[in-house]
């Protein structure tokens, strides 16, 4: 089994601890003037999503997690599972509500997502940084009002609530930054 | 491909000013600037410091501090000396660490730990004028007593392990006695040192003496060694130097055998250094100070990278 030494720790590295896969979010090396050095890490449990702090002695080894990332397209949900397809092999797989919780607001048919698989089970989904979605609910647009910063609430086709400028109309398509949930611009119907 | 420097022009100006101020400080005090080789046939035996080895037809080691060579100069009658040089330690890059960094090391004849701390306080106060006056001076024991409620020199093994479980529950793994103290120091004590003034920690456990003299205090021995900090940023490590040949040789041999137990690479002991000590090292005290970290404080940088033109990854 492959392993990592603490000196290889960096954000994004995935390893096993107590039978669960973890992803390193932050890594800090601390050392007293003389003596034992330590690696302090902030890590996310890829199964539960929980973030915990851990400290290891420098030089300790951890077991690498057999995790891989693939790109796949979202197909549909049957209410219980969410179905995806790997576009090269056409292989389909399903994900539970826990696995898609973080990406649920940004799930759109035929859009591509990065999926982290562990033992061939999907653990996490990462949406594209920008996504175009249709507004399904918002107050009528106020024409001519392009004042900077003035916004109103809107709901998009996935059910996510966002803030849009006053001039945006119901039924329009908008471009959204999925990392922040911020409106970026109007978009053409896609 | 990144080719631009990490640090900005401001950091370059601040570095040039700092170097000039340091040289002026020692010129005023008649301390002589010296140079010693960066590549040596021997290496630092400290089990927690790893040297870079350069293998050609004969292995050479990049120095991790100029200590051994400067002590050879002291033994040859150089008098008070200082050096500003690059040193290398095989360590991962981090907020406060770059494997190649700039060190100021100096030695003062007939100084003891106390007089050296006073001089370091004067030097750092001049280099970092925005810090509050009246630096803090704590013994290692008093910090553990204040923050964690036990004496680190006398605590029993099982009580210490229980403290680790209580105060650093996120730790995973096994530690020896000193490792537990190092963990508590770095996780519970260093983060509480004030950011706006200099803190000195002195009288370390005798097992942490390295090449410092030891002295009996109450019913235990302490090392006449100190560390100087601003906030949790450790700036320097000072010693009242061990002068006896037997004691110096014993330290290096002990460090070598600990390296072996820890399965770290064996390195050649500096026999020229030991010969110099045998010929006679004058009573002195010395310190190594990390200048890049000092510059971080001077320029208000939160990572060491910001004060380096080309950090490890960009070198």
**Closest residue in chain A to residue B235, using alpha carbons only:** A33
DSSP class of residue B94? B
Which residues in chain B are contacts of A54 at CB distance < 8 A?
170-172
**What are the DSSP E strand ranges found in B179-315?**
198-205, 214-217, 220-230, 233-240, 284-290
Give B-chain residues touching A9 at CB under 8 angstroms.
Answer: 92
Distance (Å, rounded) from C-alpha B55 to C-alpha B39?
A: 11
Does B172 contact A28 at a Cβ distance shorter than 8 Å? Answer: no
Strand partners, B199: B136, B229
- The CA distance from A87 to A84, in Å, is 9
Facing residues of A29 across strands? A39
Res. A78: pLDDT tops 80: yes
> From residue B103, how far is each of A21, A62, B114, B273, B292 by CA, in Å?
41, 34, 22, 20, 8
Residue in B92, B179, B204 closest to A7 by CB: B92
pLDDT in tens, B254-294: 999 999 998 888 999 999 999 999 999 999 999 999 999 99
Q: Please, which contacts does B220-223 make with residues 24 or more away whose CB atoms are closer than 8 Å?
A: B220/B153, B220/B154, B222/B139, B222/B140, B222/B141, B222/B153
Residue A189: per-residue pLDDT: 73
Which alpha helices (DSSP H) does chain B contain, by range?
A: 9-28, 67-75, 113-127, 140-148, 157-167, 177-184, 245-261, 271-280, 291-299
Contacts of B204 in chain A (CB under 8 A): 34
Helix B291-299 with B113-127: angle, nearest 10 deg:
40
Per-residue pLDDT for A101 more than 90? Answer: no
Structure pTM? Answer: 0.82
> Buried (b) or exposed (e) across A152-165, using 16+ Cβ within 10 A?
eebebebebebebb
From first to last of its 315 residues, chain B has per-residue pLDDT tens of 889 999 999 999 999 999 999 999 999 999 999 999 999 999 999 999 999 999 988 999 999 999 999 999 999 999 999 999 999 999 989 999 999 999 999 999 999 999 999 999 999 999 999 999 999 999 999 999 999 999 999 999 999 999 999 999 999 999 999 999 999 999 999 999 999 999 999 999 998 888 999 999 888 999 999 999 999 999 999 999 999 999 999 999 999 999 999 888 899 999 999 999 999 999 999 999 999 999 999 999 999 999 999 999 999
Which domains, from first to last, does chain B contain? 9-129+243-307 (3.30.930.10)
Going by their DSSP bridges, the two strands B171-172 and A51-57 should be labelled as parallel
- What domains are there in chain A, each with its CATH number? 3-64 (2.30.30.30), 67-126 (2.40.50.140), 130-186 (2.40.50.140)
DSSP B241: B
């Amino acid at each position: 089994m492959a392993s990592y030494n603490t000196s290889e720790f960096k954000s994004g590295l995935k390893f096993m601890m107590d039978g669960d896969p973890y992803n390193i979010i932050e890594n800090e090396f601390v050392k007293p003037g003389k003596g034992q050095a330590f690696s302090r890490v902030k890590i996310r449990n890829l199964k539960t999503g929980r973030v915990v702090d851990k400290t290891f002695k420098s030089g300790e080894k951890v077991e690498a997690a057999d995790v891989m990332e693939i790109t796949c397209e979202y197909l549909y949900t049957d209410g219980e599972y969410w179905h995806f397809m790997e576009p090269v092999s056409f292989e389909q797989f399903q994900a539970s509500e826990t696995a898609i919780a973080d990406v649920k607001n940004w799930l759109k048919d035929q859009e591509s997502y990065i999926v982290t698989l562990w033992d061939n089970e999907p653990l996490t989904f990462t949406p594209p940084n920008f996504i175009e979605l249709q507004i399904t609910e918002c107050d009528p647009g106020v024409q001519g009002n392009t004042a900077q910063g003035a916004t109103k609430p809107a709901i998009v086709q996935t059910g996510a609530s966002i803030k849009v400028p006053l001039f945006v109309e119901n039924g329009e398509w908008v471009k959204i930054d999925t990392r922040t949930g911020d409106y970026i611009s109007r978009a053409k119907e896609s | 491909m990144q080719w631009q420097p990490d640090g900005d022009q401001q950091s370059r100006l601040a570095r040039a000013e700092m170097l000039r101020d340091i040289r002026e400080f020692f010129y005023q005090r008649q301390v002589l600037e010296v140079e010693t080789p960066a590549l040596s046939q021997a290496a630092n035996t400290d089990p927690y410091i790893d040297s870079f080895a350069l293998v050609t037809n004969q292995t050479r080691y990049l120095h991790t501090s100029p200590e051994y060579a400067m002590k050879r100069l002291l033994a040859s009658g150089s008098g008070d000396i200082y050096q500003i040089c690059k040193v290398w330690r095989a360590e991962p890059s981090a907020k406060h660490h770059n494997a190649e960094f700039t060190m100021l090391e100096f030695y003062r004849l007939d100084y003891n730990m106390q007089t050296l701390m006073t001089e370091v306080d004067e030097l750092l106060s001049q280099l970092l004028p925005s810090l509050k006056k009246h630096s803090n001076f704590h013994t290692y024991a008093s910090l553990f007593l204040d923050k964690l409620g036990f004496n680190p020199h006398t605590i029993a093994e099982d009580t210490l392990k229980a403290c680790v479980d209580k105060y650093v529950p996120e730790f995973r793994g096994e530690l020896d006695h000193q490792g537990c103290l190092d963990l508590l120091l770095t996780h519970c004590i260093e983060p509480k040192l004030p950011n706006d003034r200099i803190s000195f920690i002195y009288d370390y456990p005798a097992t942490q003496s390295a090449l410092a003299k030891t002295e009996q205090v109450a019913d235990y021995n302490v090392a006449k060694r100190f560390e100087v900090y601003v906030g949790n940023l450790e700036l320097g490590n000072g010693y009242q130097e061990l002068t006896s040949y037997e004691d110096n040789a014993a330290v290096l041999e002990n460090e070598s055998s600990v390296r072996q137990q820890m399965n770290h690479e064996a390195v050649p002991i500096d026999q020229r250094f030991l010969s110099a000590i045998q010929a006679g090292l004058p009573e002195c005290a010395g310190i190594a100070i990390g200048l890049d970290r000092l510059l971080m404080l001077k320029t208000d940088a939160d990572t060491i990278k910001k004060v380096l033109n080309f950090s490890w990854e960009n070198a």
